[in-house]
C-alpha cells in the first residue's frame, strides 16, 4: 500500500504569489474613480493606524459589503468613532488595473476572478439617529465643525 500525500504536504510556494506578481500588485497605479455614499456601522477601530473596518448595508461597486483597513484622514477625530452605531460614510474609491498575466495567474492558480485592485479612503462620516431617521452629527476631513445652539 502506497503513501498518500496529506493536504499539508504542499509546498508553500504553491500557495503564494510569485515575486513578480506580488510586486505588480503592490505597484499598480491607482486612480480615483468616484466618491460613494453608503450606510453601515464600524466593526473595529485602529486609532494608532488611522484605519477602521466597516460593514455596509449597500454593496460597493465590486460587490463587497465589508471594508477592512479603511483609511481615515488624520483631520478627522478617529477617537470619537463608535462601534456598532449606524453612520453614513462618504468613501473615495480608487482602482488600478492588473495586467493580463496577473489576472490569468490569479484565475488559474488561485481560482480568483479579479482584474483590478481597489483602495478605499474615508472622506466624510455622519452618525445617524436611527430611531428618528435624522442625522445627528457629522465629521468630515474637509469641513470645520460648527457649534449649534438650541
Domain-located, residue 105: yes
Per-residue pLDDT tens digits for 52-84 = 999 999 999 888 999 999 999 999 999 999 998
**What is the share, in percent, of the chain residues with pLDDT greater than 70?**
77
Domain count for the chain, please give it: 1
Q: How many CA atoms lie within 13 A of 8 on its CB side?
A: 0
Domain containing residue 90: 24-138
Rounded CA-CA distance 127/39 in Å is: 10
Domain-located, residue 3: no
Amino acid at each position: 500500500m502506497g503513501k498518500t500525500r496529506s493536504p499539508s504536504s504542499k509546498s508553500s510556494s504553491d500557495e503564494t504569489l510569485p515575486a513578480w506578481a506580488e510586486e505588480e500588485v503592490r505597484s499598480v497605479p491607482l486612480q480615483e474613480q468616484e466618491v460613494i455614499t453608503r450606510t453601515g456601522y464600524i466593526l473595529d477601530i485602529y486609532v494608532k493606524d488611522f484605519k477602521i473596518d466597516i460593514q455596509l448595508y449597500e454593496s460597493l461597486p465590486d460587490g463587497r459589503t465589508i471594508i477592512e483597513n479603511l483609511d481615515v484622514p488624520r483631520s478627522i477625530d478617529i477617537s470619537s468613532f463608535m462601534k456598532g452605531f449606524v453612520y453614513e460614510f462618504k468613501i473615495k474609491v480608487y482602482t488600478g488595473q492588473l495586467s493580463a498575466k496577473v489576472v490569468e495567474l490569479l484565475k488559474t492558480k488561485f481560482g480568483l476572478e479579479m482584474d483590478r485592485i481597489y483602495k478605499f479612503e474615508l472622506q466624510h462620516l455622519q452618525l445617524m439617529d436611527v430611531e428618528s431617521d435624522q442625522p445627528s452629527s457629522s465629521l468630515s476631513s474637509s469641513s470645520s465643525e460648527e457649534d449649534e445652539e438650541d
